[in-house]
């Protein structure tokens, strides 16, 4: 049994088996298979009382001859899956043929061909991401087919593309689930840190795992309007993302009711011919005190799968316009705060310089946190203030080095301003810092920074 519990869509697993075993089976095989399924369920299924009911139902079905007509492994597996889901409709429960190499494919050449096939298939899946784009109206769109493990770097890249959009659409219509850590990582892009969004209970060890949001490698989008497209094939981990965002009132769901599979589990070997996926855990949302098992996640805006995309675009366009107006007002308020500090400094020259520095830094930090101003915006404000008030310009450019300490260009601009204000030693210190960062980052403009430093040094 694998040690890592994973949400997974059963039909994806079934159709990813390269060779469906077509071995003929007899009644003895069927009876022994059901006995082993009974044992595995009793030992591992997260709901022991349901495990007994399922086992009783399978044995009853066997006695009634429901499996007599199935003579091949694959058809028997499908029949078993149908019957074990009848008792409590747990769509994570499922049985399928175990992968077995085809005779005559034992040679290293054939093994390599199988490896190439798997390699190309993995490449084609593109880490589970189908499409990422920015739609007219500055709406970010991300279509994810499944949540693979170890895809955070890819996710960071796509989220970087969407970072400055005014609304975001996550399309999960055909997402069959995947790795819970990847699901939580995407949740963390849209929620504050240290927020409990789910608690997983596992029968083995009577263990509880809390799912908590955390830092991401990109820019969080805490207040950007978020829309999620759902469908009947939205399953498991994709449902968890949708349910988490819905329960936190962080997103609007558009489309169809989802599949309704909430319980994580693992794959167990029944025999050399068959495997079973058994839910070994269950989740509890801290807000709803339940999950979506059996009911699915119900979208706020119900529409057909064919109309879901266009309807979501319509809603996102409206939300993006409202969001832009909100940001424009916030930007105006920040600018007025900055102007007040500048006017106050002009009127009261005795104000301590360090106090002004702190006030200006606080204003721009607020602007950066609200996703209003970038490094280049702050640099622009500094350059605009040079003629009016060089000391204020110096303070603004200094704040940029504090807010963007890894940028060589912030230290260059601050150094230029310091030199202009007659503070050459401090200017050289900042030029040196700029060069050091550029060397670490292998910046293409490194030589230009060195020339600027030598020029300032020679004029000392």
| Domain chopping of the chain, boundaries | 126-264+278-316, 324-458
Beta bridge partners of 95: 276
Report yes or no: 233 and 222 within 8 Å, Cβ to Cβ. Answer: no
pLDDT of the residue at 102: 47
pLDDT of the residue at 109: 59
Distances in Å between the Cα of 163 and the Cα atoms of 140, 276, 371 are: 8, 41, 9
Q: How far is Cα 276 from Cα 95, in angstroms, rounded to an integer?
A: 4
First to last CA, the chain: 71
pLDDT of the residue at 385: 87
Report yes or no: 181 and 190 within 8 Å, Cβ to Cβ. Answer: no
Q: How far is Cα 279 from Cα 269, in angstroms, rounded to an integer?
A: 14
pLDDT of the residue at 304: 97
Q: How far is Cα 65 from Cα 59, in angstroms, rounded to an integer?
A: 10
> What tokens appear for 391 in the block?
């000391």
pLDDT of the residue at 2: 40
Beta bridge partners of 244: none
pLDDT of the residue at 346: 62
Distances in Å between the Cα of 151 and the Cα atoms of 126, 147, 226, 241 are: 10, 8, 21, 16
* CATH assignment, 324-458: 1.25.40.10
CATH number (3.40.50.300, 2.170.190.11, 3.20.20.70, 3.90.226.10) of 126-264+278-316 reads 3.90.226.10
Q: How far is Cα 248 from Cα 215, in angstroms, rounded to an integer?
A: 18
How would you list the strands of the sheet with 167-171, edge to edge?
129-135, 139-144, 167-171, 226-230, 252-255, 301-302
Buried b (16+ CB within 10 A) or exposed e, 148-172: beebbebbbebbebbbebbbbbbbb
Q: Is 334 exposed, middle or buried (0-12, 13-18, 19+ CB in 10 A)?
A: middle
Residues sharing a CB contact under 8 Å with residue 267, sequence separation 6 or more, in sequence order = 1, 2, 13, 275, 276, 277
Q: What is the pLDDT along the chain (460 residues), one digit of tens a residue?
A: 343 344 444 434 434 444 444 688 999 999 999 999 999 999 999 999 999 999 999 999 999 999 999 999 999 999 999 999 999 888 889 999 986 554 444 455 566 777 787 778 777 878 889 999 999 999 999 999 999 887 899 999 999 999 999 999 999 999 999 889 999 999 999 999 999 999 999 998 999 999 999 999 999 999 999 999 999 999 999 999 999 999 999 999 999 999 999 998 899 999 999 999 999 999 999 999 999 998 999 999 999 999 999 999 999 999 999 999 999 999 999 989 988 888 877 665 555 778 889 999 999 999 998 888 899 999 999 998 888 889 899 999 999 999 999 999 999 999 999 999 999 999 999 999 999 999 999 999 999 999 999 999 998 6
pLDDT of the residue at 190: 98
Q: How far is Cα 392 from Cα 349, in angstroms, rounded to an integer?
A: 12
Q: What are phi and psi of 170, to 5 degrees?
A: -110, 115
pLDDT of the residue at 14: 38
Q: How far is Cα 62 from Cα 30, in angstroms, rounded to an integer?
A: 8
Report yes or no: 301 and 314 within 8 Å, Cβ to Cβ. Answer: no
Number of H helices, E strands in the chain: 15, 12
pTM of the model: 0.80
Q: How far is Cα 185 from Cα 180, in angstroms, rounded to an integer?
A: 9
């Amino acid at each position: 049994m694998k040690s890592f519990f994973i949400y997974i869509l059963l039909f994806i697993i079934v159709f990813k088996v390269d060779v469906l075993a077509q071995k003929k089976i007899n009644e003895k095989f069927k009876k022994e298979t059901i006995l082993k399924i009974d044992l595995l369920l009793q030992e591992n299924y997260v709901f022991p009382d349901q495990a007994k009911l399922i086992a009783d139902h399978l044995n009853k079905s066997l006695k009634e001859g429901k499996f007599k007509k199935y003579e091949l492994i694959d058809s028997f597996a499908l029949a078993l899956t149908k019957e074990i889901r009848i008792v409590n409709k747990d769509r994570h429960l499922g049985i399928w043929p175990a992968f077995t190499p085809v005779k005559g494919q034992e040679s290293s050449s054939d093994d390599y061909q199988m490896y190439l096939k798997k390699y190309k298939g993995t490449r084609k899946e593109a880490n589970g991401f189908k499409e990422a784009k920015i739609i007219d109206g500055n709406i970010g769109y991300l279509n994810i087919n499944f949540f693979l493990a170890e895809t955070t770097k890819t996710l960071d890249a796509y989220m970087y593309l969407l970072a400055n959009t005014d609304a975001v659409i996550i399309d999960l219509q055909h997402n069959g689930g995947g790795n819970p850590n990847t699901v939580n990582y995407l949740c963390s892009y849209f929620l504050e840190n240290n927020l409990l969004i789910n608690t997983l209970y596992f029968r083995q060890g009577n263990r509880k795992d809390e799912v908590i949001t955390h830092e991401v490698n990109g820019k969080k989008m805490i207040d950007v309007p978020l829309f999620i497209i759902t469908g009947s094939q939205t399953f498991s981990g994709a449902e968890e993302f949708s349910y988490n965002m819905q329960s936190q009132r962080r997103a609007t769901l558009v489309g169809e009711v989802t599949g309704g599979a909430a319980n994580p589990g693992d794959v167990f070997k029944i025999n050399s011919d068959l495997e079973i996926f058994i839910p070994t855990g269950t989740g509890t949302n801290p807000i709803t005190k339940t999950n979506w098992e059996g009911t699915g996640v119900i979208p706020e805006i119900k529409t057909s799968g064919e109309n879901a995309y266009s309807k979501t675009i319509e809603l996102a366009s409206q939300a993006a316009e409202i969001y832009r107006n909100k940001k424009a007002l916030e930007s105006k308020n920040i600018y007025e705060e900055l102007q007040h500090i500048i006017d106050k400094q002009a009127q009261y020259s005795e104000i301590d310089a360090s106090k002004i520095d702190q006030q200006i830094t606080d204003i721009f930090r607020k602007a950066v946190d609200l996703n209003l101003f970038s490094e280049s915006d702050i640099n622009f404000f500094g350059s605009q203030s040079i003629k009016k008030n060089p000391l204020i310009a110096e303070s603004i450019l200094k704040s940029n080095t504090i807010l963007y300490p890894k940028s060589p260009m912030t230290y260059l601009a601050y150094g230029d301003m310091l030199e202009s204000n007659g503070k050459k030693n401090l200017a050289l210190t900042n030029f040196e810092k700029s060069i050091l960062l550029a060397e670490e980052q292998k910046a293409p403009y490194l030589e230009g920074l060195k020339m600027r430093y030598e020029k300032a040094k020679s004029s000392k």
